Chain A
Amino acid sequence: QTVVTQEPSFSVSPGGTVTLTCGLSSDSVSTSYYPSWYQQTPGQAPRTLIYSTNTRSSGVPDRFSGSILGNKAALTITGAQADDESDYYCVLYMGSGISVFGGGTKLTVL
């Protein structure tokens, strides 16, 4: 069974930079997996941040960026703000319409 891995938690100082990663238990993540990233605050629906590895969704500030770092997908937040404190989920496309979510990273800004 394919497992998509994310750091369970991360913290960053206001104004700082943080990189969250998204890996695969059995393979290296490449652009072929179409990594996408979503932000979710408690009680709210997810918000799409990044798709197709590094394309920002409409209205997403440019301090959010996506990339491939080594064998993982990565979401970098530059100049973290208090309202970036959220859960972040990556999704990898496995083919045939099937998407697998990572377990999410809880980001604390303090």
Chain B
Amino acid sequence: GDSVTQMEGPVTLSEEAFLTINCTYTATGYPSLFWYVQYPGEGLQLLLKATKADDKGSNKGFEATYRKETTSFHLEKGSVQVSDSAVYFCALISGSARQLTFGSGTQLTVLP
């Protein structure tokens, strides 16, 4: 079945540091890939998505590129802010499924 493997957390960075959160997946067919973010006390929000190979999703300075050859969708940001502190979830929807399959989440804390 479909599965998503995320980099173990927690991750602690200083403000303006470079962020990478690794995500790899296993899926049938050609899935769409997503990053969701959960800020403290709030629900999950879609951060960015990519629907086909080599697509790059971007939002709020975050980027992720759909790499079919390595089955990866790593999240990156060049300069993190304190306000980026949250839990980040990688997820997919495959062609055979009708709902999201999530990774286990990565807790990010950015210190001033």
A binds B: no
**B-to-A contact residues, CB < 8 Å:** none
